[in-house]
Amino acid sequence: MDSKIHHVELGQHFRDAIVNLLSTKLRTFLAILGILVGAASVVAMVSGGELMTRQVLLQFKSLGTNLLAISVNQSNSDESSNSQKSITLPQALAIKNLSPNIESVAPYVADYNNLTYAGNNLNGSIIGATPVLKSMMKLSLSKGRFISFMDHYSPYCVIGDNVYKQMLKANNKNPMGQQINVQGNYYTVAGVIKPWPSSGFIFVDLNGAVIIPIDAALVTSKYAAINNIILRLNGNPDLDQLQAHIKHYFQTLSSSYQLYFESPKQMIEKMKNQQEILTLFLGFIGAISLIVGGIGVMNIMLVSVTERKREIGIRMALGAKRRDIRLMFLVESTLLSLFGGTLGVILGVLISYIIALVKGWDFSLFILPPAIGFSISVFIGIFFGYYPAYKASKLDPIDCLRYE
């Protein structure tokens, strides 16, 4: 006999494990259920979170993140004084002088008036804007021109894609040069905006907008007021400081102004925080179910060790070393959780795909979450499988052979 102590090749352990797992299919399935759910939730949550972040970033990518939106409300409910007190266009444009970090200023008026065209109601809203809005919102035109500084009170409008389609549907005429009736005022369509990806940042839907010169908008309705101003910033200004600065400026105009700020950077920050909480929460659930799954695997393996005491004895009599027995059960539990982990990863990816589908997000397959889910499952299998395997290896062959 040579002095080397021999061990079973690993392939044999895998063959044995597969024979054993297949002979108890139902139990095998039940044992992996916990791991499956755990791995699925880990994968689904990490993938889902990542998809959401990407989607949010995508929304801002087109606009850029160096924007700051200001909405202006008046706390005074006295209507007669409203129009007098509302911000004038020069006042709004003067914000640019407050900081060298402000690159451009786009005030706009959002007004929900009835729109009719060729006897049909149009579903859309009036936006009074300056030409700057085009570059600010990265709009591009499919037809005609955008409103210009020369327009002032000229009755021209630029329409969003939705409005364009509605008009086309109404009478099959090219909307260019046609007139839209806004409460008795007729605006001639001078341009059409290409479909614009909606954004969580700006609340008006530019696809459903009829954009008219801001001067015209301010005189069309007595309720029309500059209630929104969008700033494009350059450099990396301290947003809090800038906001305080702008607030102060409006306070000097009138104490009744209430300002609300929104910036993509802050929104992303907020969403990321929310996502982190969500990830932590789901991760907790995933971890719990993986632990429960691991305990399930351990339980099944303990039962299996007891049931197969006779087999352990026979194997030992045939020359199995304690290490061989330990490895045999360890391979089995690892295979068990590997199987559960694989199914779980597939399910998790499927769930994240469905989430993306339902939410209308772009789906992409990430490598990291499946890899994490997979490796955690394997780890669980080894960790929770070790004790039963160790227990099996410590059994006395004589007791095992006598076991009925």
Partner 1 sequence: MSTNAVIELRNLTKTYTVGGHAFHALKGVDIHIEQRELVAIMGSSGSGKSTMLNILGLLDRPSSGQYHLSGTDVSHFNDDELADFRNHKIGFVFQSFFLLPRFTALQNITLSLSYRGMDHSDAEEKAHAMLEKMGIARLANSKPNAMSGGQQQRVAIARALVGGPDLILADEPTGALDSKTSDAVMDVLTHLNKNENKTVVIVTHDPEVGSACDRIIHLADGEVSDGL
Contact positions vs partner 1 (CB under 8 A): 1, 5-9, 11-12, 15, 19-20, 23, 310-311, 313-324, 397-398, 401
CA dihedral 239, 241, 243, 249 (to 10 degrees): -150
**Quick one: DSSP state of residue 119?**
T
- Give the amino acid at 52: M
**Cα 52-242-264 angle, rounded to 5 deg:** 10
Q: What Cα–Cα distance (Å) separates residue 271 from each residue in 38, 61, 239, 264?
A: 25, 15, 17, 10
Q: State in Å, rounded, how far the first CA of the chain is from the last one.
A: 34
Residues paired with 394 in a beta bridge: none
Nearer to partner 1, 115 or 400 (CB): 400
Closest approach, Cβ 403 to partner 1, in A, equals 11
Smallest gap from Cβ 29 to partner 1, in A, equals 17
How many whole angstroms separate alpha carbon 105 and alpha carbon 231?
Answer: 5
Q: Which is nearer to partner 1, 31 or 136 (CB)?
A: 31
When the beta carbons of 4 and 169 are compared against partner 1, the nearer one is 4
Q: What are phi and psi of 116, to 5 degrees?
A: -130, 150
Task: Output the smallest distance, CB 297 to partner 1, in A.
Answer: 20
Compare residues 11 and 90 and give the one whose CB is closer to partner 1.
11
- Closer Cβ to partner 1, 151 or 311, answer by number: 311
**Bridge partners of 111?**
126
Q: Shortest gap between Cβ of 22 and partner 1 (angstroms)?
A: 9
Whose Cβ is closer to partner 1: residue 268's or residue 327's? Answer: 327
Indicate the length of the chain as a whole number: 404
Least separation in angstroms between residue 393's CB and partner 1 is 10
Least distance (Å) from partner 1 to the CB of residue 398? 5
The pair of structure tokens assigned to 218 is 């301010």
